[in-house]
Amino acid sequence: MQYDFSAFDAKAKDIFEWLQTEYTSIRAGRATPQLLDGVRVSAYGAQSAMNQVASVTAEEARTLRVSVWDASLVKAVEKALIEADLGVSVVVDGNGMRVSFPELSSERREQLLKLAKSKLEEARISIRGLRDDENKKIIPELPGEDDQRRAKEVLQKKVDDSNAKLASLFELKEKEMSI
């Protein structure tokens, strides 16, 4: 009898995509618009994501251009960028604002590497949790001990493959940060 691992595969894929998204928000050598995705702006009486009140584009390697759609929100966006404590300088000009990222120091690079490692560990913990959940489902669904053992072996191989994919994603980020 076969066990259906499609739910595990889908959740493992979601975890991989989550880690990819988290790594895009960790700045390495270049400034990317995704770095400001986590900044929340107080607009119209509610907290809004940066991409809901402005467009963010890369102007240069270490500079982003923030074009606020509603001129009345320029001060709120500037305040949100300063309060986000990203270590950036914000300059307001006629067309919006420039967000300049300083050159990464070796200490900051180490901090970002530690952050990337902690995100990797969070993803691994999630994969282990998925494995534990699936193991609990295997026992009642498969009647024979041999079928259960085979299914658990297949599951462990899927866990190992998922962890290898997560590790390769971390290695790419690590190389990107060392440049």
Question: 18: which 2 tokens?
Answer: 């989550």
Domain tally, the chain: 2
Residue at which a domain ends, from 100, 126, 147: 100
CATH number at residue 62: 3.30.1360.40
CATH number for the domain that contains residue 165: 1.10.132.20
Q: Which domain holds residue 93?
A: 33-100
pLDDT in tens, the chain (179 residues): 678 889 999 999 999 999 998 887 776 667 778 778 778 888 888 888 888 888 988 888 788 899 998 888 888 888 888 888 777 888 898 768 998 887 777 877 888 888 899 999 999 999 999 999 999 988 888 888 888 899 999 999 999 999 999 999 999 888 877 76
In a domain, 38, yes or no: yes
Domain boundary, last residue among 54, 83, 100 = 100
| 1 in a structural domain | no
What pTM, to 2 d.p., does this model score? Answer: 0.68
Cα separation of 104 and 35, whole Å? 14
